[in-house]
Amino acid sequence: EVQLQASGGGLVQAGGSLRLSCTASGSNLDAYVIAWFRQAPGTEREAVSGISNIDGSTYYQDSVKGRFTISSDNAKNTVYLQMNSLKPEDTAVYYCAAELWMGSWSQLSYGMEYWGKGTQVTVSS
């Protein structure tokens, strides 16, 4: 059983930055992928970024490439999402999620096994 705790959301002006944190506990996460998803009102939840604890490979949704950076601190069991140059369209509830790494980022499309509670990110124009 994996427990995930997301934090770091807030209100920021367009062009600003936020860093989200996802701290995991409960199991050895060496073979897991940790991913960030977001859901804006009236939209479906979408995968934003992910990182594999096995090989360190990363995934970014096209709309955040060059602005967001995902990283992990294995000693702290924490994954970070550094979000720069934020835009109003980045406004959403952000969730972190985890499951065993299957070797393909397509697994993010099929749901994740473990989810944390969301953290609200609001970007004002």
- Which residue, among 45, 42, 40, 28, has the nearest Cα to 111 in the 3D structure? 45
Sorting pLDDT into bands at 50, 70 and 90, what band is 70? very high
Please give the mean pLDDT across all residues of the chain: 95
Q: Which residue has the tokens 């990182």?
A: 51
Q: Which residue has the tokens 């506990």?
A: 25
Beta pairing partners, 61: none
Tokens of 21: 């944190």
- The residue-averaged pLDDT of 12-21 equals 98
Beta pairing partners, 119: 94
